[in-house]
Structure 1
Amino acid sequence: MLGKSFATPLLTFNPASCCSPGCDSSSTTASSLIGYINCSNNITSNVTMGSWKSNYPSRKWTLHSTATDNIALTEEEKKTWNDSRQTLSALKFSPEEEDKILGKAFGHIHSPYWYEERKKEVPRLEVVNEILDYLRSLNLTDDDLIKLLKKFPEVLGCSLEDEMKNNVEILAKQWGIEGKTLRNLLLRNPKVLGYNVDCKGDCVAKCTRCWARF
């Protein structure tokens, strides 16, 4: 989920102000003094008893996804991200699923699909809506979209004009795949929407995006 997180400040601590019994100020480090100071004997001292200084007035928001990555966003980026999540909320995804889908699609959560080519980008509502609307135009229902996005969340980060529309045209012209046949194919192998390489048997090490997989 998206939660508020402040950039960790540079802190200075006055050990004389920690007067709790059993508190060993000599072993206290800045890394253990964020928020509260935990002393021995289960006594907790509020940091307001000490002397603190912060050299970082700006703040970031951190997205804690179910994956291992944490996504740091500015307040403006957080609003843009949340706007994009609203579209996915309509498909009954959980907040964690929404963040994971957007994170993988726009380079914030590692995905082998992109190799190293995907730069981090904050998803924009109009881009997400445009892609979802296009997928619906291919006879995909909302239930189909849920299945497709769970299987291939990166689709939201693919190029609509250069990859998705172009690939659908190739499928129709070269293999006669369209209509219900296309719908069935996309549910089975949605990655075809993002193919942008055809190695023609001479591997270019971009197998996740190569027509050789089709």
Structure 2
Amino acid sequence: MLGKSFASPLLTFDFATCCILSPDLATAAPSVVPFCVNLSSCFPKTVRRGLWTSPISPKKWVIYSTLQVDNIALDDEDRKTWEASRQALSAFDFSTEEKDKILAKAFGHVHSPYWSEERKKEIPKLEIVNEILDYLRSLALSDDDLHKLLKKFPEVLGCSLEDEVRNNVQILEKDWGIKGKTLRNLLLRNPKVLGYNIDCKGDCMAKCTRCWVRF
């Protein structure tokens, strides 16, 4: 049952993403209810009439996505870090929901077959996201190209710039003679090549999603 109403609402909205203040998920998960941003239809009557009420003091921000992105519990500092990284994707005409899903897939908050079980959850950092994007731009990829690439392979933002992305481009140029316009076309067709980090050479190591054998 809902407790007494507080003096101010505890709901904030960012377009397609809803952020609600909730207690620690470890102790209050059963009471957390995701809301979408259709104010006319998605809220309980008590919320439509007035304020959201809760007898429990809030401790965490929780990000919800209507595309079934896992619920992500963030403290205030991590939330600001996440939102800064989201801003780095503003040039590519993604919705807020799409930006959150890209970041969640890249940094282990949503299951991705590409990572298998190896990706630990991290809060996306602006400098890391910008470094990847700046390097990809240096390969003559336009913002429209990057929109397409990130749609196909959002995980690239979570790859190592030096050990994987940059190294793989050098392999393509040195071993395969692929560069310039040909490289651009390849990356748009098969951007996962940027994250390859193993070559089984025919002796399968059960890491096919990141193996050069797919190339």
Q: TM-score of the superposition, structure 2-length normalised?
A: 0.77
Which residue does the alignment assign to 2:175?
174
One-letter amino acid of the structure 2 residue matched with residue 85 of structure 1: R
Classify the secondary structure of the residue corresponding to 2:19: strand
Contact 1:171 1:178 in 2 (8 A): yes
Distance 1:142 1:67 in 2: 27
**Matched residue, 1:148:** 149
Gaps spanning 5+ residues in structure 2: where? 1-16, 34-44, 47-53
2:82 matched residue in structure 1: 81
Equivalent pair of 1:107/1:119 in contact (CA under 8 Å): yes
1:197 maps to amino acid = I
Deviations 1:144-201 (A, max 9, x none): 0000000000000000000011000000111000000000000000000000010111
* Counterparts in 2 of 1:187 and 1:53: CA distance versus 1, 3 Å: closer
Superposed counterparts of 1:122-133, under 5 Å: 122-133=123-134
Gap runs ≥5 in structure 1: 12-30, 35-42, 45-51
Contact 1:6/1:59 (<8 A) preserved: yes
Whether the 8 Å contact between 1:67 and 1:109 is mirrored in structure 2 is: no
Given that residues 91 and 146 in structure 1 are in contact (C-alpha distance below 8 angstroms), is that contact kept between their aligned partners in structure 2? yes
What is the number of equivalent residue pairs in this alignment? Answer: 179
Residue 195 of structure 1: aligned partner: 196
Aligned positions of 1:37-186 closer than 5 A: 54=56, 57=57, 59-65=59-65, 66-186=67-187
8 A Cα contact 1:6 1:61, kept in partner: yes
SS of 1:62's equivalent in the other structure is: strand
Opposite residue 161 of structure 2, the aligned amino acid is: L
Larger Rg: 1
Give the TM-score taking structure 1 as reference length. Answer: 0.77
User: Aligned-residue CA RMSD in angstroms?
Assistant: 2.5
Q: How far apart are residue 63 of structure 1 and its match? A: 1.2
Distance in 1 separating the partners of 2:98 and 2:108 = 15
In structure 2, the CA distance between the partners of 1:122 and 1:165, relative to structure 1 (3 Å rule), is same
